[in-house]
Structure 1
């Protein structure tokens, strides 16, 4: 079956978020909810609940919609008037209150109107499928499954799916494939057990972490300093995460789990009522969405904000301080739990319980260890899953430590018998199965991971900041490997090396280049630390040469005889955006955050960013007439450091062009980029021809500068903003030219370089760079 239309029942935070993400993928979706009693009594819009949810999402940050236009694909309605319209829908997602009786009543109504072969799924987070199906028809059972999204649905990659004994295989496969390829989810198949995988383990972990913090006398800051980055968990730590998701949600999850868990489940042993948390919830301290939680922000008389943390013993707030624990700086999980301070002891107590619990649940909650690890990585943003963590500790060591403390050793750990849960064998990643043998990790069709390529080969070339990999079929992959993928001389050298290796793309072993990496961010831009070092000792010629090298390297890539396809995900800022602008094509992950942000550190885009944006906007056939609109548009984008918050917004900014592709599933990005590169080769790729444009010169520059000075007079622009914007305006308007003169790319590159060097020598710019390196935030000077 094919899924071409959807409906979501329930327009709460989860339901509306699911509908928005389906719309993000270009699929029309109905969003239905109840008719409020007040409307029934007094009249009014009977679909007001769903309509209000859509309006709220358009104002929400972070945005559920990848582009505001996606909202037009969501049709609001209500369950009394619009239920018959579900007869045209292929997939119906139920996302209403977690009450089996209310869900059962809805299912009977849905079964009466839906078309044959349509699928119904529940977004339940805790209720087993067999309970949901009680009293339903055989026909309904054959078309029913659980699809548990994580909040917020756009950003959280995990989708837990549960197939019932009677669920049709083709329906289950169709929904799973749709959620994988179209919605970009990491689909993990779970058993029909309480809490499925991620919430079952995640709830246990948080309960253990809270218990041990209280019992061990740790402050919330100390507990979070350990149960965050040192464990490979989100930097919020445990108490920060509870604040984020909401204190009031935790008792509800616990109650639901306790109502369905087996009587001998270890969660029952560690579960505790928390009087302090109950008091906080009653007083409105429900976390970030309330007046605060374990942490809160208090506004002082001088307008500044004071961050406070609650004392777990007294329940009183105090000034929040940094945790000074040796264990917080431990390198590796084993070093963390072996550190003798209270942080190391806390880490062991939490991990020994949580990892044992997870290990005891296979094969009860999932068929294999990799499914559990995948669920925790994607659903809770753990860097490593539980079994990967046990591997880091050592399965033998972990078993010995548990036994020495008189704790039971989980069956899977005994089965490992000192072997790791994962190994590489013959260039293949394998996992230890419940049968005691190793099995290959099988990727879905259409998935190509650079990590798999690297496991089975050596780089074609490598230096301190970049590598080149053979990804098959004559395609070379350029991977950035510097810290945060910041761009430096080594990366520029590797770009030039890739062009040397590929040559003309016809006579050698390679015919195309893909620029891709699997880090959280494609590239945060140029290496500011190196730049500041050069500035502080006055290495002006070297700085100018690095700008020129970057310009010429990117331009050479643009006009190379072979195609270059950039495949970015996450942030592609500054120089990271500029390499996209000089690529033959882009295959972007839908979650691409890109822009030319150099003004934030007092600079202008110096590696061709100004040049490319003014050329693109000038040549754009859809632009308004006259010479000024394209310059003004590019100026606004660059001078305000505008960042696209999705690949669709990047298309509006002309960073992506109409022919560039967007991939929703990050695991499929490299394969899609490789496919695009080979298509360009097969089509007889030829590099673009150099063109010239006409720019209006000083008159346009004056108009842009006047606008900025107006903002400065209103307090909306700082003195150094005026200086930097003036340089940007000069470059984009073409310098001392006029509309009768054609301007080349090289002309604009020379202007970029000249004004970049002028800015880099100013105190205001040096102060901005220093502040950014020290705080990670722009200086408003």
Structure 2
């Protein structure tokens, strides 16, 4: 079966978010909820107000549940009294109502009476076992029913846990899993019908252990978060910061649900404890970021400033937030962390020894293999490593021996490992250790190609300090950035030229196309500002000018290469990272790509062809209004305000992507999709022809400058904003040209180059760059 339409029952935060993400995938979806009693009593006549209000609220929510505003039009709000019959035509119905088995059961009987034969019904429950949900339902309903547990917010959290029943049809599971994988971009993990499934079972245990050990060990919330964050490969919020984010009031609810269904001997029962301090915080509305504060809060000071405070775990009172002095917070590697002799190291060991032991005890109870458990924790809780990858870092033998030396029980799975790692590479293939003690290959779904797998099985075609070229098969070469934050430097420029040289004309040699891709969190944050600042400080102006010219020439060579080049970004592609995509033959972008030309934030303009490419696209865009000024004004606004597309769909609206560029929802499928696009283009590829455009010159520049001066009078533009904007206006208007003269790409590149060099020599731009390097934030000067 194929899913072409859907419905979500329950328009709360979770249900409406699921509906929004289904709409993001281009699928029409009904969103139904109750008819409010007030409406029944005659107060208002919109019987679908709950669902309709949910959609309206999502259009104002940040971060946005919708990838593009048009997706909201695919949601049809309705109610459970008037619109149930509309579900007769949908392929998949998702239930996301209150966690009450009786209420769910009543709803399921109503759905069963109206749904079409073969449609799939799933519950988003995270607490109620599937067998309880099916109690009293028809046999056909049981065959069509499963659990699809999304994580909040549904658009951004990649994990989807699927639980099937003994009677669930295999093709129903396959259809939903495939849709959630390909269309919604989820990492689908199959779980067993056990309390909390995988991620919440282990994640809740970890947080409880981390809170307990912080209190028992006399750590402050800042110290605990400094250890239980990045040093452990966990989100930078740390444990207490994460609880603030998800809500303190949610934790007792999850605990209550787990305690109601966990086995009597489960270790969570041993470590679970209530805290009078936390209970008082919840009662007084200190529920985290959504409330008056949590373990951290911000207080307004006179003059509009804010102070950040933290909770004293001993007294329950707030005090100014403190910097941690723990040496262990700065160590590298888990083994070094838990071995560190200060209280941070001791805390890390006490938390990890319990949490990792707990995880090891749960396989195969909650999942068949360690692979599913690690994947669930990476995607559901944003851990850098899953628990078994963590144990491998510590060493399975070392971990078991340390547990035994402390008189603690060694999990059976560690005994099976007998000192061997849970993961190994054999003949270029990643393998995992099964519960039977044998290794098996980690299998990827059809349509998934990971660069990390390619790298395990081969050596680079070429490599330097910041980039590498990899053969990804079928005559396609992949360019990978490897510098810190994938910042662009001379080594990356050299590797781009090496790629062009290696592929040649794309016909005589072994390679015929290039894909530009990496598996880092971000595609590229732009040029290496640290290197630029170093050159500025010692006055290497010829080097800066040469670097600007080199970048322009390299990107131009990429654009006009005789073979197709496909950019495959995910995460941030900013500044020079955006410019490289603008010069590719095509782009296959991950849906969660954040693309933009942000150079004005450091007092510069795009200097590697970004102005030229965006202006050309806007000018030749057939959908633009007539006359020379609209495209110039559009690009001026985009660049001067440092607009960043918040999805690949928005990137098309801002012209960072072409209408024909592809969008991939599942990041695991991005490289395969980009490779496929490159091969399709290679069959009959012809490089683009140079484009000449006509620009108004000084008259357009004057109009743009007047607009900037208007913003300055309103206090919306600083003095240096005006300087940078005037330089940008000169480029986009074509310099000292007029509408009768054609302007070439090289003309625009020369204008970019001159403006860039002029700006980088100003004190204000230097101040902006230094401030960005020191604080990570733009300076408004």
TM-score scaled to structure 2, two decimals? Answer: 1.00
Q: Which residue of 2 aligns with 1:335?
A: 336
Q: Distance in 1 between matches of 2:320 and 2:35?
A: 47
The 1-side partners of 2:86 and 2:192 are apart by: 33
Which runs of structure 2 are paired with 1:596-611 in the superposition (5 Å)?
Answer: 596-611=597-612
Aligned pairs (5 A) from 1:447-486: 447-486=448-487
What residue number does 2:244 align with?
A: 243
Provide the C-alpha distance between the structure 1 equivalents of 2:335 and 2:624, rounded to a whole number of angstroms.
Answer: 59
CA distance in 2, matches of 1:108, 1:279: 41
Q: 1-side partners of 2:502 and 2:353: how far apart?
A: 50
How many angstroms apart in 2 are the aligned matches of 1:735 and 1:291? 54
Map residues 207-246 of structure 1 onto 2, 5 A cutoff: 207-246=208-247
1:549 aligns with 2:550: yes
Deviation string, structure 1 residues 660-699 (Cα, Å, up to 9, x no partner): 10000000000000000000012x0000000100000011
- Mapped partners of 1:96, 1:245: distance in 2: 19
Q: Distance in 2 between matches of 1:774 and 1:266?
A: 45
The CA deviation string for residues 689-744 of structure 1, in whole angstroms up to 9 with x for no partner, is 00100000011001101101110111000000000000000000000000000000
Structure 2 partner of 1:717: 717
1:482-522, Cα deviation, whole Å (9 max, x unpaired): 00000000000000000000000000110000000000000
Q: Secondary structure at the match of 1:309?
A: strand
Distance, in Å, in 1 between the alignment partners of 2:55 and 2:17 is: 9
Q: Secondary structure at the match of 2:299?
A: strand
Match of 1:524 in 2: 525
CA–CA distance in 2 between the matches of 1:96 and 1:691?
56
Map 1:629-648 → 2, pairs under 5 A:
629-648=630-649
Aligned equivalent of 1:617: 618
Residue 779 of structure 1 aligns to a residue whose secondary structure is coil
Q: Name the counterpart of 2:777.
A: 777
Superposed, 1:2-41 pairs within 5 Å as: 2-41=2-41
Q: How does 1:243-642 map to 2 (within 5 A)?
A: 243-642=244-643
Q: Deviations over 1:639-674 (max 9, x none)?
A: 000000000000001111111100000000000000
Cα distance in 2 for residues equivalent to 1:323 and 1:84: 59
Q: Secondary structure at the match of 1:523?
A: coil
The separation in 2 between residues aligned to 1:321 and 1:479, in whole angstroms, is 40
Distance 2:679 2:710 in 1: 50
Counterpart position of 2:156: 155
Q: Check if 1:750 corresponds to 2:734.
A: no
Any gaps of 5 or more consecutive residues in structure 2? none
Alpha-carbon displacement from aligned partner over 1:426-462 (angstroms, at most 9, x marks no partner): 1000000011100000000000000000000000000
Cα separation, 1, equivalents of 2:612 and 2:723:
19
Aligned to 1:78: 79
- Map of 1:761 onto structure 2: 761
Following superposition, the deviation at residue 44 of structure 1 comes to 1.5
Deviations 1:191-227 (A, max 9, x none): 0000000000000000000000000000000000000
DSSP-derived class of the 2:47 partner: coil
Q: What are the within-5 Å matches in structure 2 for residues 90-109 of structure 1?
A: 90-109=91-110
Aligned twin of 2:670: 669
Kindly state the Cα deviation for residue 301 of structure 1 after the two structures are TM-superposed: 1.0
Determine the C-alpha separation between the residues in 2 that align with 1:332 and 1:732.
Answer: 49
| SS of structure 2 residue aligned to 1:291 | coil
Q: Distance in 1 between matches of 2:90 and 2:263?
A: 38
What displacement does 1:111 show? Answer: 0.5
- How far the C-alpha of 1:321 sits from its partner, in A, is 1.0
Q: Distance in 1 between matches of 2:311 and 2:101?
A: 37
Cα distance in 1, alignment partners of residues 29 and 539 from structure 2? 59
Please report how far the alpha carbon of residue 372 of structure 1 lies from its aligned counterpart in structure 2 after TM superposition: 0.1
| CA drift at 1:100 | 0.8
Partner of 2:165: 164
For 2:16 and 2:462, locate their aligned partners in 1 and report how far apart those are by CA, in whole Å. Answer: 48
Secondary structure of the residue that 1:302 maps to in structure 2? helix
Deviations, residues 323-369 of structure 1 (Å, cap 9, x unaligned): 11011011100000000000000000000000000000000000000
Instruction: For 1:316 and 1:757, locate their aligned partners in 2 and report how far apart those are by CA, in whole Å.
Output: 54
Q: What's the secondary structure of 2:303's corresponding residue? A: coil
Q: Distance in 2 between matches of 1:150 and 1:505?
A: 44
SS of residue matched to 2:499 = helix
- Partners of 1:659 and 1:398 lie apart in 2 by 52
**CA distance in structure 2 between the partners assigned to 1:679 and 1:693 by the alignment:** 30
Cα shift readout 1:279-305 (whole Å, capped 9, x = no counterpart)? 111111100001110000000012110
Aligned-partner Cα distance in 2 for 1:648–1:430: 37
Q: Distance in 2 between matches of 1:434 and 1:132?
A: 30
Aligned mates of 1:553, 1:287 — CA distance in 2: 49
Q: Distance in 1 between matches of 2:406 and 2:135?
A: 44
How far the C-alpha of 1:420 sits from its partner, in A, is: 0.1
Q: Aligned partners of 1:323 and 1:258: how far apart in 2? A: 35
User: Where does structure 1 differ by over 6 angstroms across 4 or more consecutive aligned residues?
Assistant: none
SS in 2 for 1:634: helix
TM-score w.r.t. length of structure 1: 1.00
CA distance in 2, matches of 1:580, 1:431: 37
For residue 248 of structure 1, report the CA deviation from its aligned partner: 0.5
- C-alpha distance in structure 2 between counterparts of 1:215 and 1:352, whole Å: 16
| Alignment correspondent of 2:118 | 117
Name the CA distance, whole Å, in 1 between partners of 2:226 and 2:428: 37
Return 5+ residue gaps in structure 1 as ranges. Answer: none
Deviations 1:158-212 (A, max 9, x none): 0000010000000010000010011000000000000000000000000000000
Superposed CA RMSD in Å reads 0.4
Mapped pair 1:689 → 2:689: yes
- Give the CA deviation at 1:15: 0.3
Question: In the aligned structure 1, how far is the partner of 2:127 from the partner of 2:589?
Answer: 35
Give runs of aligned pairs for residues 39-58 of structure 1, distance below 5 A: 39-42=39-42, 43-58=44-59
**Cα distance in structure 2, aligned partners of 1:715 and 1:659:** 40
How far apart are the structure 1 equivalents of 2:383 and 2:415?
24
SS in 1 for 2:685: coil
Supply the distance in 1 between the matched residues of 2:738 and 2:574 (Cα, whole angstroms): 31
1:741 aligns to 2:741 (yes or no): yes
Aligned counterparts of 1:259 and 1:135: Cα–Cα separation in 2:
21
Mapped partners of 1:148, 1:442: distance in 2:
23
Query: What SS class does the counterpart of residue 477 from structure 1 fall into?
Result: strand
Distance 1:236 1:339 in 2: 22
Q: How much does 1:27 deviate?
A: 0.4
